Amino acid sequence: MLEIVVLGNDIDAALGVAADVGGTALVADREDTRELAFRTVVRARVDDLGRLADAASVATLACFSRVICQRDRPVRRGEPSPGFTAVFGLVAHPNLTHQQADAHWRDVHAPLALTHHAAMWDYTQLSVVDHIDGLAVDGLALCAFRSMEDLRTKFFNDDTSRDIIVADVSSFADTKRSPQRLVATEHTF
């Protein structure tokens, strides 16, 4: 499914825009003081980019959403979704085209992620099909876990899983240029 994704830093703007357009906002904890490339992600199906402008201070992207696995608990509209989502910005490996990196991410990495992140209960890949403006990324991985404890201690099944995932990500992503991970709470409107 195609959707517009905007990245920004204003949590209140992201929540307001997502509520206005019936979208989803992923927002950082207000107490998180780390320097991040972006602190918010808004996902929406709109035909007027202007409706997202207040939340788009970092980037505006057209993305294809691939749901790899979906949480087993329903999301209540207007309330924070259960659990926490790690959002990883993806910049393609310099030796690969966007299409090559995306194909690897979809066809090779997704099955590996399901195997080596056993505690992950929701996984969506947002593949950029058009970079409209701002920060240039090739995709965003949304990796959700039931609790902050699971995210912190069960992100990988074990050390072997960590090594496999790190090696695979390094084969299709530029890990130095890809934005630092954002830990977010998801709000669906």
pLDDT per residue of the chain (189 residues) written in tens, 0 to 9: 899 999 999 999 999 999 999 999 999 999 999 999 999 999 999 999 999 999 999 999 999 999 999 988 777 888 888 899 999 999 999 999 999 999 999 999 999 999 999 999 999 999 999 999 999 999 999 999 999 999 999 999 999 999 999 999 999 999 999 999 999 999 999
Distances (CA, A) of 176 to 92, 113, 157, 170: 11, 20, 24, 10
Q: Residue 146 belongs to what domain range? A: 2-188
* Domain CATH code at residue 183: 3.30.70.100
CA distance 6 to 43: 7
- Per-residue pLDDT at 107: 98
Beta bridge partners of 80: 187
Q: What is the pLDDT of residue 72?
A: 81
* Number of domain units in the chain: 1
User: For residues 120 and 69, is the Cβ–Cβ distance under 8 A?
Assistant: yes
Q: What's residue 77's pLDDT?
A: 85
- N- to C-terminal Cα separation, the chain: 18
At 82 the pLDDT is 86
